[in-house]
A and B are shown apart, each in its own frame.
Chain A
Amino acid sequence: MDRDKKCTVDAYMTKKVVTVTKDATFADAAKAMIDNKTNGAVVVDDNKKVVGILSSWDLIQYVVPDYLEADKHLAAFESADVFAKRVHAVKDAPISKFMSKHVHSTKPEDSIMEAATLLSEFRIRQLPVVDDAGVLVGYINRTDIKRAIGEVLGLSE
């Protein structure tokens, strides 16, 4: 990467973002992630403002009953049909019940280091990119940062 090349988020972010609306259900979110072959989706309200973030972790954790999470010794003994039963039991639950509401986000003009710091500090996989009004404009994830590292090292092209 050139020293003077712009090291800002907008140079690396993806503009096409998988979103779900805040009134979507568990099943809607699962479908959006499966259709788009992604493990993350940004939750937005009617004005495209970011209100939450959803990863496949959130779906998995919501399916696993608390009593099994609390007791690692027991999963091996649980009845085999419980998985399907649980999925059916939660399919209509609103995503607001299990999405992460505390969303870290970045802005297009922020530096890549700033975005990388957030990913590293909070051990997260992706950051929504928002404008000054909080409206979603893009998405930056670990792959994008990896690309920036590759450019610095002259590994690509």
Chain B
Amino acid sequence: MENVSDVTFYLAIGIFVITYAIIISEKIHRTVIALTGAALMVLLGIMNQEVAIEGIDFNTLGLLIGMMVIVTIAKDCGMFQYVAILASKVGRGKPVPIFILLGLIVAIFSAFLDNVTTVLLMMPVTFVVANNLKLNPMPFIIGTILLANIGGTATLIGDPPNILIGSAAGLNFNDFLVNLGPISLIGTAVTLAMLYFWYRKQLVATPAAQASIMKFHPREAITDTPLLIKSLVTLGLVLVGFFTHNFLHLEGATIALGGAALLLLLTMNDPEHHLRDVEWTTIFFFIGLFVLVSGLEHVGAIRLLAEKALELTGGDVTVLTIVLIWGSAIFSAVVDNIPFVATMIPLIHDIGAISGITLTPLWWALALGADIGGNATIIGASANVVVSGMAAKEGHKVGFVPYMKVAVPMTFVVLLLATGYMYLRYL
């Protein structure tokens, strides 16, 4: 940090706070306002362009873009639908086993795919299964939301906050799997059990409805076998890459973009079409946030916050960890967890630099709070918003308060388990 004038200091904080307030209010598209705030940080001389660009984490961007390209190509072969249809047949057309199997599939897909991609793939198949069973799809809708966010916690690539944390803290794929995998699994199992008790009276179907599920031929979901093989080869190699990336000394973006290049090469597809399908608005939102946060860092505001946080908690790791889990969860329940995590990362770095405490538990606490906290409200995470939009179109409106009645207690239980897990394992 250089010496900065008071004007620059307050200007940076002003731009940051106003930008975040507008992002939360959703009056202007989050990407537009994040880029505007970022541009102002540079235009008003808080930092020069060089510093701004240094603040952008290209490893995070590369990882996101690579995975988006792979999934947009792979989803056309029908393999994700195949797995879900197969599960309902394995469940012998009985609603409870199907409900649990579909929930597990959502959690597993979500661990390896972005949460929004997971729900976009799983909701249509869920509607089809519920229609065949002649059931109200609401238990499935709520289950998909909760399990997408809990499953996403398990790996580096499961949820954007994890990518941000992993990239900034130098934590690799296996670190996430070993440290967050177990609690994600416990959270999934406990949530499924709670959902079962909550909805068990609704999960009943007639023999005729069960028979219609048994008539499914899952193979019919596979519409493109050559593409299926190419996609499986690529996804397999990417996973091997992630499992071994610390031995290979490769960063996440190299593996994801390498996989994307391989799948584009194998399919010889028109790259323009697939590259257009990358969610560029999300990518540019990240770019804007990185620059905004680095402006705040540059003027020393983040360091000041870190000092305050240490002062308030007495620098006690246990207190810091617990405050971080629950604080992140509450924030993420109300606002987008990506800007929150982007701001917390340099803050935690500074806490480490000032006090010299081990940061590992703090990174896991941030990831757990931010990923799981999003479950508490229908606006808490992007996946929730996408699912409720799809459900409303089919005439199943997920109300704000009715959703919370189910989700808040379940989120609370999972967070409690996460706190216990953290305490026993790290503190």
Name A residues whose Cβ lies closer than 8 Å to a Cβ of B. 65-68, 70-74, 76-80, 82, 89
Contacts and interface: CB of A to CB of B under 8 A. Distances in A.
11 contacts: A67-B123, A67-B127, A68-B128, A70-B120, A71-B124, A71-B125, A74-B81, A77-B132, A79-B128, A80-B212, A82-B131
Given A74-B128, A79-B128, A79-B132, A67 B394 contact: yes
Contacts of A71: 81, 121, 124-125
Contacts of B394: 65-67
Contact of A73 (B78, B120, B134, B393): B78
Given A71-B121, A78-B132, A79-B131, 14 more contacts: A65-B127, A65-B393, A65-B394, A67-B394, A71-B125, A73-B223, A74-B81, A74-B221, A77-B128, A77-B132, A77-B216, A78-B128, A79-B132, A79-B212
Nearest to B129: A77
Contacts of A80: 212
Nearest to A65: B394
Given A68-B124, A79-B128, A73 B221 contact: yes
B220 interface: yes
B284 to A, nearest CB: 24
Interface in B50-106: 78, 81-82, 85
Contacts of B85: 77
B395 interface: yes
B390 interface: yes
A61 to B, nearest CB: 13
Interface string B335-373: 000000000000000000000000000000000000000
A108 B132 CA distance: 52
Contacts of B217: 76
A72 B223 contact: yes
Closest 3 CB pairs of A and B: A67-B124, A73-B78, A71-B124
Interface string B201-229: 00000000000100011001111000000
Contact of B390 (A66, A74, A77): A66
A77 B131 CA distance: 10
A78 B390 contact: no
Contacts of B124: 67-68, 70-71, 74
A29 B268 CA distance: 45
A67 B78 contact: no
B221 A77 contact: yes
Q: Which of B78, B82, B222 has the most CB of A within 10 A?
A: B78
Nearest to B78: A73
Contacts of B127: 65, 67
A73 B81 contact: yes
Nearest to A71: B124
Given A67-B390, A67-B394, A82-B131, A77 B123 contact: no
Interface in B10-64: none
A29 to B, nearest CB: 21
B37 to A, nearest CB: 33
Contacts of A77: 85, 125, 128, 132, 216, 220-221
A70 B393 CA distance: 13
A82 B209 CA distance: 13
A82 to B, nearest CB: 5
B111 to A, nearest CB: 21
Nearest to B81: A73
Q: Which of A65, A73, A79 has the most CB of B within 10 A?
A: A73
Given A66-B390, A73-B221, A73-B223, A78 B131 contact: yes
Contacts of A68: 124, 128
Contacts of B120: 70
A89 B395 CA distance: 10
Q: Which of B81, B120, B131, B393 has the most CB of A within 10 A?
A: B131
A27 to B, nearest CB: 18
Nearest to A69: B124
